[in-house]
Structure 1
Amino acid sequence: MRLTGKNFAVDINVATQSALMDEVARRFQQQQGFALATINLDHVTKLERDASFRAAYAAQDLVVADGNPIVWVSRLARKPVDLMPGSELVVPLARLAAKMGASVALIGSSDASLAAAGDALRQTAPGLQIAYVHAPAFGFDPNGDAARAILKDLDESGAQLAFLALGAPKQETFAALGRSLAPQAGFASIGAGLDFLSGTQVRAPKWVRKIAMEWFWRMASNPRRMFGRYALSAMALPGLAWRGYRSR
């Protein structure tokens, strides 16, 4: 399913979670790296105005739908895809890695959050090996020398899957760089997924997510930070939906 805007076009090339797990398992087995992005409306607004973000997205091997509006647009286009928020992929991917003997890395957030998230992952994915953990300093440049040093250490650790909790666009940009500097590693951009596991951030209750109102819960929890983001996203949705309908 292809999402298009005035300045971008992105293919959601993995439609279901089972297909995603099969593809990641195949890449683990063949020691083949990848970059996984989870596109949502916030990404759409960034893609329209940020050429560097478009370049980072072009380097992503696997793209899934993160957010009900993206799923709704796919249905309008008659090319439906599953809802796969990055935060909900952490545990399934960790369990797959444990099952296949692929070690993982945790990158982003804070030292305390990563430590707690690592403990939570070991409990929920028995046998999981965490080969590398790093919380970049404030102001981290995903294309800078510090990023290159992290990728060098990651490559030497042998980790086959790196969970990136850096937020967009940093995590996708870092993953794009990682595809060239640590080509055997998989990079999964999962936003606040590790912070949810550690308890550093609290996710909306399941009933709120079920009625597709998580965006409102997040905005109400942090209006100063989230209001502008969701306002831009709301303005982007009608055009995205119209282009999806026309693509039938």
Structure 2
Amino acid sequence: MTQERDFETYDVLGVPMSATTLDTASAAIVRWAEDDMARFVFIRDVHGIMQAKGDDELMRLHQKASMVTPDGMPLVWLGQHAGRPVSRTCGPDLMEKVLLESPRTGLKHYFYGGKPGVAEQLKAGFETRAPGLAVVGVDTPPFRPLTPSELADVAAEINRSGADVVWIGVSTPKQEYLMDKLAPHVGATLIGVGAAFDFHTGSVSRAPTWMQRSGLEWLWRLSSEPKRLWRRYLILAPKFVLLVALEKLKGSPGPMRENQLTP
């Protein structure tokens, strides 16, 4: 069943991107805590779009998500070009905003992801920055798919914790499939934030703000991890640009005939 959506959407290669800003996305997360409905949120960049484009099941999950936020600037620019009220809503920034405001909003949080010890480090760091923050649970997943028994245990622990929001720091698309499996068994909002755990604990450095705003963060990340990311930025990203351009050409009107100029 497709989850309810609070936002206008715009299509990017078949993915329904939500027209969000950090403010509107964080406000929705706070609002959703008022009920016990399970929802999941995808944070999407060009790499994630291309993965969904080549995977029918992953594309189906994007259709089900309550919110699919634009992480990369190219996705923001496409939304703005379509006339949508959108700005970059990336995982680390959304996570930081929601957590730092939680002593006021009262949201309770669960961290699931990262290498051993990372979730605990993340909890300690945010509790120092936001006195009164309620991080009610942390867990580190194994580097393999969960067994049905393990999945049931994770869902039960989340429910026992009373968490309103579960931040999942696992790689894409593992985290998206995990959220879909957890959603029927929990009463919380699940948000896949990928490398945000590493960014906020300092194990991976983020690009300078000017590079993030100008759409050059990919260059920073490529130079930092060339062996792991070269295919993502040197092959998939150009292919994305080509596919978007082809879609725009297919959707554009043909040459106007002379009789179309007269009433």
Aligned mate of 1:40, from 42, 45, 60: 45
Give unpaired runs (5+ residues) of structure 1: none
Deviation at 1:225, TM superposition (A): 0.7
Q: Percent identity?
A: 22
Distance 1:71 1:131, change over 3 A: same
- Alignment partner of 2:18: what SS? coil
Deviation at 1:31, TM superposition (A): 3.8
Distance 1:144 1:97, change over 3 A: farther
> Which residue in the other structure is 1:219 paired with?
222
Q: What amino acid maps onto 1:204 in structure 2?
A: A
> Which residue in the other structure is 1:180 paired with?
184
- Alignment partner of 1:12: what SS? strand
Q: What amino acid maps onto 2:180 in structure 1?
A: A
2:119 paired with 1:114:
yes
> Which residue in the other structure is 1:16 paired with?
21
Deviation at 1:21, TM superposition (A): 2.2
Distance 1:57 1:35, change over 3 A: same
Q: C-alpha separation between the residues in 2 aligned to 1:247 and 1:67? A: 25
Q: C-alpha separation between the residues in 1 aligned to 2:65 and 2:129? A: 28
Superposed CA offset, 1:153-194 (max 9, x none): 111211111111001111111112222110x21111111111
Aligned mate of 2:86, from 69, 72, 81: 81
Q: C-alpha separation between the residues in 2 aligned to 1:142 and 1:47? A: 22
> Which residue in the other structure is 2:203 paired with?
200
Q: What amino acid maps onto 1:196 in structure 2?
A: F
> Which residue in the other structure is 1:129 paired with?
134
- Alignment partner of 1:164: what SS? strand
Q: What amino acid maps onto 2:72 in structure 1?
A: G
- Alignment partner of 2:133: what SS? coil
Q: C-alpha separation between the residues in 1 aligned to 2:92 and 2:115? A: 17
Distance 1:187 1:237, change over 3 A: same
State the structure with bigger RCO (CA 8 A, min sep 6), 1 or 2.
1
Match runs of 1:98-177 below 5 Å: 98-139=103-144, 141=145, 144-177=148-181
Distance 1:112 1:81, change over 3 A: same
Deviation at 1:242, TM superposition (A): 4.8
Deviation at 1:4, TM superposition (A): 4.0
Number of residue pairs the alignment of both structures matches: 243
Q: What amino acid maps onto 1:48 in structure 2?
A: K
Give unpaired runs (5+ residues) of structure 2: 1-8, 254-263
Deviation at 1:80, TM superposition (A): 4.6
TM-score (norm 2): 0.84
Match runs of 1:207-246 below 5 Å: 207-230=210-233, 231-243=235-247, 246=251
Superposed CA offset, 1:112-156 (max 9, x none): 2112111111122221111111111122x1675423321221112
Contact preservation (8 Å) 2:119, 2:140: yes
> Which residue in the other structure is 1:191 paired with?
194
Q: C-alpha separation between the residues in 2 aligned to 1:98 and 1:142? A: 32
Contact preservation (8 Å) 1:76, 1:241: no
TM-score (norm 1): 0.89
Give the superposed CA RMSD.
2.1
Q: C-alpha separation between the residues in 1 aligned to 2:252 and 2:141? A: 41
Distance 1:190 1:73, change over 3 A: same
